[in-house]
C-alpha cells in the first residue's frame, strides 16, 4: 500500500510540465492568436453578426440564390 503512494516520477513530470507551460505563457514576445469567438464578438459589437466569418454569406443571400 505504501508503494502506491510513492509516485514521485509522475509528480516530477507534472511539475516540470506545469513549469514549462507557465514559462511559455509568460513570454511577452509570444505571438497571440485570437480565437474564432474573438472575431465573432468583435463583429457582434459592431452590429455585424451575419457576415463576421469571411467564407460566410448572409442568410438572406442564401435564400434568394436557392429559389
Has residue 66 got a pLDDT over 60? Answer: no
> 27 in a domain, yes or no?
no
pLDDT at position 53 is: 56
| DSSP character string of 16-67 | HHHHHHHHHHT-TTPPP---HHHHHHHHHHTT--SS-STTPPPHHHHHHHH-
Structural domains in the chain (count)? 1
Distance of CA 57 to the CA centre of its chain: 24
pLDDT tens for each residue of 5-63: 778 889 999 999 999 999 888 888 888 788 888 888 888 888 876 665 555 555 555 45
Domain membership of residue 45 as a residue range: 37-67
Has residue 67 got a pLDDT over 50? Answer: no
> 53 in a domain, yes or no?
yes
Cell of 60: 438572406
> 13 in a domain, yes or no?
no
Q: For the chain, what's the residue count?
A: 67
pLDDT at position 62 is: 47
> 50 in a domain, yes or no?
yes
Q: Per the confidence metrics, is the pTM higher than 0.75?
A: no
> 57 in a domain, yes or no?
yes
Amino acid at each position: 500500500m505504501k508503494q502506491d503512494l510513492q509516485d514521485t516520477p509522475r509528480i516530477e513530470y507534472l511539475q516540470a510540465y506545469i513549469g514549462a507551460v507557465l514559462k511559455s505563457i509568460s513570454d511577452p514576445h509570444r505571438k497571440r492568436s485570437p480565437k474564432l469567438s474573438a472575431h465573432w464578438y468583435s463583429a457582434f459589437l459592431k452590429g455585424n453578426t451575419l457576415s463576421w466569418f469571411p467564407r460566410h454569406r448572409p442568410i438572406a443571400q442564401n435564400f434568394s440564390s436557392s429559389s
